[in-house]
Chains A and B, each alone.
Chain A
């Protein structure tokens, strides 16, 4: 079974982290377009046809005379390009965790979207709080599930009962990493339809 556990570890890691395909594909498409444009300009130049925008010599001399443009504009362009670059570098280095949790089970690899956990918790919280599911909002993050309940008109909600119910649900889901419940009773909240 040792090779299966290694297999499942690999699957679990890949299922809970982004592959960064979207970013890589977007960048690849942009580089392809830029390269294709450069090739077209060079072929037009070789064929002695007028350039689409400017031939490569024009681009080069414009870059060489960068200092002749307004300082503010050049600086602003530099900042924007640098920020885009920084964003891409950070995206390529960070883990890219997806909004999912592992389910602790031995025989298979199981991952569940945070949204599904939230909808399960919402149903049980609404039941215990004796209110409509429309008046419960749940947001599940990596470590915490925030359950916000809006009591019915004139009604009250037994907070400890809701805490117990939500905790019981979370225990039964056997999530990894474990999620702590936080129950908020919002008396001022606007009730749903």
Chain B
């Protein structure tokens, strides 16, 4: 018999005084952890397959369940942690690449939490958001066109295509395939109600969602899944995915077991085979090739839609951004190393890429140094966790933010990071019909709307406190930020002073 080296990660702790044996936990666990033992007349748990998704804990009507880290401990070791050792055991067993889901969970510094905001006092009054207009509307697109006045003093100017957002928050790319149809429907309906946009991701656009076209950004990724003329014409904008924060340098990966009839049709690929997007676009090997694709897409859609180029935050992100700004693209989306994913090799997710805060600061400054900041709008993501992060991002120079993990959390995700197994108990990262049913778009879209409204309200409160009543006056306004616990180099890159200065 082979030795099983894999420790269960979690323990299921049940309070038998509270358990009423309703068996909800048994029925709702796709990993088959709980079951009712009629001989013992009690609920028992097999914790080996528990992923701590919290479905049973949340649904238990008497709060009888708790999931804890498995208390079985290896001998303490500052260098070889238990997790690192488990990963070696896994690879020795499988011979395969470690796969993970969602964003980098490692203990790297979170710069958002080391930046503080200003408030106006005495010399400059704060503005009361309950009594004065507070505007968070923003436009994404090129702003470098000229203006002329004719002899009658009438203004003549060219219109560039743009996206108009009522709040500076959009839903980031998550493909149909990595998440369920119900999840997409919730995002689409929420985007429509909020006056913002959601992103198809690289899985194409399901026919049922064409009606949300005016609030849809259609992504063109390296695999070109689901890309054809009608797809491009339906959306409000087109996004070329050059990279993704969670896995810079490699393409998307959808395991074959997640590809059913609907996914196959939407992505225009065969059922059951793994959908692996290539690392580069095989027609983009240099910056001028990107320009060619940008202009081709514009030509294909009659120059009516803005083109977004999405890149991962890597070491020379500022230079890349400068090249993209000159390529004809209207908007650049930068995805930081904390960005989420449905499936990625663990080592790439945890070790490749740089924090979005630093990438944003250096891209914004570089574009201004070159005098081309208004050729392009900047959208950032990976990871934006709260309205405070949004305010700090705008103050560093972003025009808007992309949220994805926060959106999934609103829909029920508990970051158990097992999306790649396809057994999401919350109906989000799965294609199994019985699981997808668990995500009711009528409920989920309202929660998304609630989240964004709440954040918008908080943004207005913070802006008012700073004496600002329109988002455009916060954009790039670095004097509103101070660092705390940062060294001089970090402060220089962020372009902010230390608290107290």
The answer to whether A and B belong to the same complex is no
